[in-house]
Chain A
C-alpha cells in the first residue's frame, strides 16, 4: 500500500507551479528588458506563455475530466479573433492599451466559453468519446468560417460579411479588421511578457483551485467511475460542462493574448496541427499533471526554435525527440494513454455496461 501524500500535495503542487512561473519571470524579464537575449527568443516569450495556458487548460479537459478534445485550437481561435475585434473596436474609446488588452482577453474568454457551451450541451450528454470527433470538426469549421469572414468598423459600428471587404460597405472613416484568408490585420501589439505571465498565473489559480474543490472532486469522480458518481447523485452533464467551459474560456483568453502579440493573424494558425501540438504538451507533461504541462509546453515550444540552425532536418529531429521523450516517459504517461485508448475501445465494443453493473 502506497501512502498517498495528499495533505500537503495541494500545497506542494501550488508551490511548484506558481514557483516555476514566477522564477521564469524573474530570470527572463530583466534579460528581456535589458536586451540581453536574442530577438528570436524574446519574440517567443508571449507565444510560450499562451501555449502554457493552452496546455494547462486542455489538461483540465483531458487530464481531469478524462474527455479527449481534438479542437482546443478552435477555442483559441474564437478567443483570438473576438479579442482582436474587441481591442480594435475599443481603440478610440479606451486609450489605455493595458485596459484594452484586459477587456479583449475577457471578451475572448467569454466567446470561447459560449462556443464551449454550444458544443458541450449536446455532446457531453452522450456516453463515449464523441467529444473528440465533435471538437475536431469544430476546429475545422471555425477555421473555415473565419477564413471567409470579413469584419470592418466605422462610426456606425461593426460590419460583417462573408464575401469581401468591399461588401462590408464601410464609410470613408471605416477600417477593415478581418480580411478573410488574411485573418485579422492591423492589430496593435499590446501583449507583453508580463501579461503572459499574469495570464498563466490566472490559469493556474483557476485550475489548481478548481481541482481541489467540491466541483473538482465531482469532475475527477466522473472520470474515475461515471456510474459510481451518478450513484451518489452527481449530475454528470453539469460537471462535465462546467469543466469543459472553463477549459474553453482559458483557451479563448490565451488566444486573445496570442493574437495581440502579432500585427496580423490568420485562422490557419489555429488549425488541427495546433490542437495536436497542445495535446502533445499535455500528454507528455502528464495527464492531470499541471506542472508537467507547464514544462512540456515551454520546452517543446522552444525546441523547433532551438533547432533552427539545422534547417531542413529541423522537423525530422523534432519528431525524433518527441518519440524519444514519449518512450522515456513510458513509465506512467504513455501507459495512461494506452489504458485510455483501450478503455475507450472496450466501452465502444460492449456499448453499455452490461449485466454486471
Chain B
C-alpha cells in the first residue's frame, strides 16, 4: 500500500474535516422516498486527492448517496458543495460540468457506439467544435476531431484498451465495459470520480488490476475517488478514509484499521450475515 499523496488521507473523519480543503462536501444530507428515509444526516468531506470508500449492507443507501451528489435525486434536506460551490438547483449535466464524474452500478455505456466514441462523448465539453462546423465538417472540424481522437486514444492506452478503440462498446466483455465506463468518466476531466461497485462481477485478477488502476488514476490525474464496494479486500487496501452506512445513516467513519475493529460495523455486517 503506497500512500504517495500525503495531503488528505483521513479527510472523511469528521474531526479533521475542518482542516481540509475538500473537493466534495455534504452537510446533513438526507432524502425521503415517500415514507422511507433512504439517506439521513450524511456529513462527508473528501480531500482533493483522497481515495474514499462508501460501504454498507445491501439497501443501505450507498447508490442513493451518489445519485444525490450528482443531483439525479434532489435532496430533501442538506447541502452539497463541489469545490466549494453549492450544487443546489443545478441540472445533472451542470453538476457534471462542475467537475464530478461517475460510473453506474449497472453499467451504462453507449452500447451501439464504438469504444472511442464513448470516450469522445466523455470529452464532449473539451472538444472545440461549433454546430456549424459539426454540420459542414469545415471551420476547424478536422483539427477538433483529430485532437479528440488523440486524447481519447491516450486515455484508452493508459488503461490498455487502445486496441479495442474501434469495437462496439456493447460487444466488449464485462470487465472491459466496466473499465470503459471509468475511462469515459475520466474523459470529462473531473475533479472527483464516483465509482459504484467497480469490482462487481470481476474475478480476483481483474480486481487486482482495478485496484492498481484506481491508484494510477489518483496519482496521474491528482483527483479524488469515492467508491462504493462490497469487496472488503479492495476497500481496506486502497481506501484512505471509509464511511459506513446502514439504513441510510452513517454508523462509522475512519481509516481502514479503525473501521475493521469498529463493533458497530461488525454488527451491521454480521447482523445481516454477509461477508
For residue B127, CB closer than 8 A to chain A, the reply is: yes
Chain A interface residue count, Cβ-Cβ cutoff 8 angstroms: 36
Which residue in chain B gives the minimum CB-CB distance to A214? Answer: B129
- CB contact between B185 and one of A5, A214, A218, A232 (< 8 Å): that residue: A232
5 A-B pairs within 8 Å (CB atoms) are namely A1-B173, A4-B168, A213-B141, A225-B109, A230-B93
Q: Of B9-17, B110-118, B233-241, which stretch is located at the interface?
A: B110-118
Taking CB atoms, residues of chain A closer than 8 Å to B104 are: 227-228, 231, 357
Q: Of B76-84, B132-140, B206-214, B220-228, which stretch is located at the interface?
A: B132-140
Q: How far is the CA of A84 from the CA of B94 in the complex (A)?
A: 43
A144, chain B: closest CB distance, angstroms: 34
Q: Of A234-242, A274-282, A300-308, which stretch is located at the interface?
A: A234-242
Check A357–B72 contact: CB distance below 8 A.
yes
- Which residues of B in the span 84-99 have a Cβ within 8 Å of any Cβ on A? 91-94, 96-97
Which residue in chain A gives the minimum CB-CB distance to B67? Answer: A357
B113, chain A: closest CB distance, angstroms: 6
For residue B166, CB closer than 8 A to chain A, the reply is: yes
- CB contact between A1 and one of B102, B135, B148, B171 (< 8 Å): that residue: B171
- Bitwise, B12-39 to A at CB < 8 A (1) or not (0) is 0000000000000000000000000000
A94, chain B: closest CB distance, angstroms: 27
For residue B260, CB closer than 8 A to chain A, the reply is: no
For residue B70, CB closer than 8 A to chain A, the reply is: yes
Taking CB atoms, residues of chain B closer than 8 Å to A217 are: 113, 117, 120-121, 124
How many contacts A-B (CB < 8 Å)?
Answer: 127
A28, chain B: closest CB distance, angstroms: 28
Q: How far is the CA of A3 from the CA of B109 in the complex (A)?
A: 17
**A-B contacts besides A217-B121, A232-B101, A246-B135, 12 pairs, CB < 8 Å:** A6-B117, A209-B136, A209-B137, A213-B134, A215-B134, A221-B113, A221-B121, A224-B113, A232-B124, A232-B187, A242-B131, A356-B63
For residue A27, CB closer than 8 A to chain B, the reply is: no
Check A232–B134 contact: CB distance below 8 A.
no
For residue A220, CB closer than 8 A to chain B, the reply is: yes
- Which residues of A in the span 197-227 have a Cβ within 8 Å of any Cβ on B? 206, 209-210, 212-218, 220-221, 224-225, 227
- CB contact between A2 and one of B109, B134, B144, B171 (< 8 Å): that residue: B171
Check A228–B171 contact: CB distance below 8 A.
no
Taking CB atoms, residues of chain A closer than 8 Å to B141 are: 213
Check A230–B96 contact: CB distance below 8 A.
yes
For residue A35, CB closer than 8 A to chain B, the reply is: no
Residues of B within 8 A of A (CB): 63-64, 67, 70, 72, 91-94, 96-97, 101-102, 104-106, 108-114, 116-117, 120-122, 124-125, 127, 129, 131, 133-137, 141, 144-145, 148, 166-168, 171-173, 184-185, 187-188
Q: How far is the CA of A4 from the CA of B121 in the complex (A)?
A: 17
Check A218–B129 contact: CB distance below 8 A.
no
A7, chain B: closest CB distance, angstroms: 6
- A225-B109, A228-B104, A228-B109 in contact; A1/B172 too (CB < 8 A)? yes
Check A228–B120 contact: CB distance below 8 A.
no
Check A234–B124 contact: CB distance below 8 A.
yes
Taking CB atoms, residues of chain B closer than 8 Å to A216 are: 134
Which residue in chain A gives the minimum CB-CB distance to B148? Answer: A214
Check B105–A357 contact: CB distance below 8 A.
yes
For residue A355, CB closer than 8 A to chain B, the reply is: yes
For residue A262, CB closer than 8 A to chain B, the reply is: no
Taking CB atoms, residues of chain B closer than 8 Å to A2 are: 167-168, 171
- Bitwise, A174-191 to B at CB < 8 A (1) or not (0) is 000000000000000000
Check A210–B63 contact: CB distance below 8 A.
no
Q: How far is the CA of A6 from the CA of B152 in the complex (A)?
A: 15
Check B134–A4 contact: CB distance below 8 A.
no
For residue A132, CB closer than 8 A to chain B, the reply is: no
For residue A134, CB closer than 8 A to chain B, the reply is: no
Taking CB atoms, residues of chain B closer than 8 Å to A210 are: 134-135
For residue A233, CB closer than 8 A to chain B, the reply is: yes
- CB contact between B167 and one of A3, A213, A233 (< 8 Å): that residue: A3
Q: How far is the CA of A339 from the CA of B216 in the complex (A)?
A: 40
- CB contact between A4 and one of B102, B108, B114 (< 8 Å): that residue: B114
For residue A229, CB closer than 8 A to chain B, the reply is: yes
Taking CB atoms, residues of chain B closer than 8 Å to A212 are: 137
Which residue in chain B gives the minimum CB-CB distance to A355? Answer: B63
Which residue in chain A gives the minimum CB-CB distance to B112? Answer: A224
Q: How far is the CA of A233 from the CA of B186 in the complex (A)?
A: 12
- A2-B168, A232-B101 in contact; A225/B131 too (CB < 8 A)? no
Check A231–B131 contact: CB distance below 8 A.
no
Interface centre among A216, A220, A355 (most CB of B within 10 A): A355
Check B134–A209 contact: CB distance below 8 A.
yes
Check A214–B93 contact: CB distance below 8 A.
no
- A231-B102, A233-B93, A234-B121 in contact; A209/B166 too (CB < 8 A)? no
A221, chain B: closest CB distance, angstroms: 4
The 7 closest A-B pairs by CB, nearest first: A213-B134, A233-B96, A224-B110, A228-B108, A215-B134, A230-B92, A4-B168
Taking CB atoms, residues of chain B closer than 8 Å to A227 are: 72, 104, 108
Check A213–B125 contact: CB distance below 8 A.
no
Which residue in chain A gives the minimum CB-CB distance to B110? Answer: A224
B20, chain A: closest CB distance, angstroms: 26
Q: How far is the CA of A176 from the CA of B108 in the complex (A)?
A: 57
- CB contact between A214 and one of B94, B97, B127, B173 (< 8 Å): that residue: B127
Q: How far is the CA of A129 from the CA of B91 in the complex (A)?
A: 21
Check A228–B110 contact: CB distance below 8 A.
yes
